[in-house]
Amino acid sequence: MVECPRCLGKGTVDIDDIKRLKKELFWAPGKCAYCNGLGKVPPDRIEKLDPDVEYLTTDLPSWERHKVITGDDDAMKRAREFKETVLAVVEEIEQMYYIENKEPCEIAGHLFHKQGRFVYSASEKQEMVEYVEKVINSKLKK
């Protein structure tokens, strides 16, 4: 076993890891999904799977995590689709904020409606607003 290249052996991914891997718009701090919180991985995992795969998060079901780690073609296709979807949402947020002059709260509501969700809690909306603001702030830092 070798030190996990995603969390650097801590078992958790923190803001510094997320920034180092440039995944601010994909991940939140927490248990490392690459090593499953162990801090160590088999050496061949690093050869088979990049540590910065956006899709490999702790909210994946265990069977899907296993498929991603083993490089299953269908799982890797879902990983690519996930990344493309997130990047499309990021582009949409940027368009709505910078071109259409919409506020983060309006954008969050739009994103919920686009998902077919017309009822959501205040905390869910706040979480979405925070993500919209994170996207906006990431663009400002470039």
Q: Show the tokens assigned to 101.
A: 């002059």
The C-alpha R_g of the chain, in whole angstroms, comes to 17
Q: What pLDDT, in 10s, does the model give residues 87-115?
A: 999 999 999 999 999 999 999 999 999 99
Q: Are residues 46 and 105 in the same domain?
A: no
Residues 83 and 64 in one domain: no
Q: Mapping DSSP to helix (H, G, I), strand (E, B) and coil, where does residue 34 land?
A: coil
Pick the residue with more confidence: 138 or 111? 111
- Residue 67 shares a structural domain with residue 84: no
pLDDT tens readout for residues 72-82: 999 999 999 99
Total count of domains within the chain: 2
| Domain residue limits at 130 | 76-140
The domain boundary, picked from 17, 46, 71, lies at: 71
**Residue in the block written with tokens 């030190």:** 3
Tell me: do 7 and 57 sit in the same domain.
yes
For residues 80 and 121, membership in a common domain is answered with: yes
Structure-token pair, residue 15: 């803001």
CA atoms of 11 and 25, how far apart (whole Å): 21
Q: What is the mean pLDDT of the chain?
A: 95
pTM: 0.86
* Chosen domain end from 71, 86, 108: 71
